[in-house]
Chains A and B, each alone.
Chain A
Amino acid sequence: MKIKRYPFLIFTLFICTLLFGCWSKKELRDLALIIAVGIDKKDGKYISTFQVVNPGNVAGATQRGGGSTGLPVALYTSTGDTLVEASRKASKQISRIPYYAHTNLVVVGEELAKEGIQQIFDVVERNPQFRPTANIVIARRQTAKQLLSVLTPVDKIPANQMIKTLELTEMMWGENVGTRLREVIESFSLAGKEVIMSSFHVDGNRKHSDDQENVRTMEPTARLRASELAIFKRGKLVGWIGKEEARGVLWILDKIKQTAVTVDWKGEKEALSYKVVRAKTKVTAQLRNGKPIIFVTVETEGDIGETFVAIDFTDPKQIVALEKVMQQEIKAEIEKAVHVAQKKKSDIFGFGEVVHRTYPKEWKKMKKTWDDKYFPKLDIQVKVESFIRRTGLRTRSYIQ
């Protein structure tokens, strides 16, 4: 070949080929790292709120505690007929390219959630930058913007504070659950499953929530707090479920990792706490006379955490009796949750999908009317088996 004759030309071509890799280059200092997006709707237009990380003020600067240093995040709001439009219009205020690869949180305002959230996820799915693992929460009694404009003390970036709170409370208490974008999108396509999402609200005085003053007091005047679970039906918010009922939902969804169940004992109210260490739920379906019946079987394992009454824990019979009480308590929670969901006619437990998987042929007939006809009258058999394995560092309590 004649390669030897044109070494310079070949070399130039080679370098050019390599340079194509720099075509869409974006420098780090030209990017606005959006950590959370809030979405509201007003007068038919979408209002997007972007929580942008201010990298210089995240580490180091705020630790030094100087009041004059800047805030770890900045907030931008932009309006548009579509979300893409709002995002592009934001360039009028932000000097950097909005970059969504680090967006871990999407907040939806309650008003928009009631109106319907189906539209807002197409862009999220379509855009290659966006993470499908991002969490989504609802702003309870607030707009998404109000929720995103609260500064937080320990975890400096409010979005991270919310995500970590959510993860922790899901693991330790089990009344809230983190919902990923992908789960929401998946639920839209399933006739037998509706989605639930956790909500957050601002506790305390919201007036100066976005001021640095908020994090300079020991007890911030405005705090973010995980709130009830939002029940959706075909992409619309139809109700809320909280407290014990919310935990009941998580029992059925097999999302409980650890929690504490408090029960009455021999006339004494709320006398004893049972720490659940492991829990496993199985949901099966059966057809009887053409009608589906759902069986929910919960198995829990745990220790005694605390007692206010004198019980002899060295006696295995007492333990068995206690286990029975626990089972009733958990069963009651689950049944309450089912009752609320049936009243709202929203199959948040995915019972329809269980029927779909076990009886695909019969499901085709039920599919259309599942929510309104079958689910509200569904027969659900709950069975709980609780085991108390250990009682901690003491056997009997000093309480007599």
Chain B
Amino acid sequence: MERARISARQLFMLAILFEHGSAMVIPLGVDAKQDVWLAILCGMVFGGGLLFVYYRLFTYYPNLPFTSYSQRIVGSFFGKVLALIYVLYFLYISARVLRDFGELLLTFAYPETPLFILNAVMMLTVMYAVYKGIEVIARASQLFFFSLYWILMLGFVLIIIAGEIDVRRLQPILEEGWSHIFHVVFTQTLYVPFGELVVFTMIFPYLQREEKVWKAGFLALLLSGINLAMIMGMNVAVLGADIVSRSTFPLLNTIQEIRVANFLERLDVLFMIALIVGGFFKVGVFFYAGVIGVADLFALKEYQRLVYPLGISVLFLSLAIASNFAEHIKEGLRIVTIYMHVPLQMIIPIFLLLIAMVKHQKKERKGR
């Protein structure tokens, strides 16, 4: 762990940017068709439950990151194995998000640029930020929080003015029933982006005042859940469920529909900015958690030494994980969800929390 402190406000903004990150631009939970907004809100509610688990774990060990307290909970050996798994998970997901980001840029803006170049430029920036530490990332999030929000507001207002929203496209509500919604929630929207907050178990200990973790985290979850539901709902209301479900980036198509007064059109650049800002924070937070985790696990004093080797590994991993876009997406929806998100975001943290609770009760009894 580095010696750093961030405020609750910074944590809140960082979490918001992290949540919006790629979730805002990808077709999130579109299998729910016109009820996608409902699927996201349900995902948020259950995501709140997961966040509570991470928070409880943190209250037992307020000064330790996940990789340290896992060793306290299940013993040194198993704890280290767990920590290693988590560190690899964080690094792998940061490579995945980096790939997402590169693929998106390549598809619509830079068709002739090699993926490696785009990913490399992004990764260099992320590596620099991580090298500088969590305080710098947190301060950057304060800056970008407002710019991102401003862009979102502007886009939203323009869409309304352009008169493209037709709420009838959101009807009929619950055409396939609740079971279908929950199927989408438990296979998609719960894990990305809400369950991904598990990475913040590495960042909570940096908070100045630990009692504010719950409030900041919960508010961030709530706000980003509502925002994402609104964004996807807006996409459906503008484009219709069918186009949204076939689109690689629905938000881009929605923004392209804006046509105000014959000159405010083709505002794709708004989408670009949102994509790059969100991508930076998502890759950055995952990568930071990975780097800090490795340093913590192997008891390195200066985590900075790890930034370059691990950064370059992540960069090459992002190119190697899939040979095409379809494969990348399929892996993300099927394999990663079942074999990584479900155990690492849900099963193991709940399991650890139960053990920690039992242990602490025993301790209390002994203390008495």
Contact = CB atoms under 8 A, between A and B. Distances in A.
Contacts of B172: 356-358, 360
B257 A132 contact: yes
A369 interface: no
Given A23-B112, A133-B265, A190 B175 contact: no
B243 A185 contact: yes
Interface string B98-112: 000000000111111
Contacts of B240: 186, 189-190
B257 A133 contact: yes
B110 A23 contact: yes
A101 B175 CA distance: 37
B239 interface: yes
A249 B121 CA distance: 54
B171 interface: yes
A131 interface: yes
B108 A182 contact: no
A24 interface: yes
A20 interface: yes
A189 B113 contact: no
A17 interface: yes
B260 to A, nearest CB: 11
B242 A189 contact: yes
B72 interface: no
Given A20-B117, A101-B266, A358-B172, A132 B242 contact: no
A128 interface: yes
Given A24-B110, A24-B111, 17 more contacts: A20-B113, A20-B121, A23-B112, A131-B256, A132-B256, A133-B256, A133-B257, A133-B259, A133-B265, A182-B257, A186-B240, A189-B240, A189-B242, A189-B243, A356-B172, A357-B171, A358-B172
A96 B109 CA distance: 20
Nearest to A128: B108
A186 B121 contact: no
Nearest to A354: B168
A357 B175 CA distance: 9
A190 B242 CA distance: 8
Given A20-B121, A357-B168, A360-B175, A128 B239 contact: no
Nearest to B172: A360
Nearest to B265: A133
A179 to B, nearest CB: 14
A17 B168 contact: no
A316 B242 CA distance: 51
A356 to B, nearest CB: 7
Interface string A149-190: 000000000000000000000000000000000100110011
A281 B124 CA distance: 56
B117 A23 contact: yes
Interface string B127-152: 00000000000000000000000000
Nearest to B252: A128
Interface in A71-103: 101
A311 to B, nearest CB: 38
B253 interface: yes
A357 B259 CA distance: 28
Given A133-B257, A133-B265, A358-B172, A186 B242 contact: yes
A101 B256 CA distance: 11
A78 to B, nearest CB: 21
B175 A186 contact: no
Nearest to A188: B242
B124 A17 contact: yes
A128 B107 contact: yes
Interface string A118-144: 000000000010011100000000000
Contacts of A24: 110-113
29 contacts: A17-B124, A20-B117, A20-B118, A23-B110, A23-B112, A23-B117, A24-B111, A128-B109, A128-B111, A131-B256, A131-B266, A133-B256, A133-B257, A133-B259, A182-B239, A182-B243, A182-B257, A185-B243, A186-B239, A186-B240, A186-B243, A189-B242, A189-B243, A190-B242, A353-B168, A356-B172, A357-B168, A358-B172, A360-B172
Interface in A317-353: 353
Contacts of B118: 20
Given A132-B257, A186-B243, A189-B240, A23 B113 contact: yes
Nearest to A102: B266
Interface string B290-306: 00000000000000000
Contact of A17 (B109, B110, B121, B253): B121
A144 B266 CA distance: 27
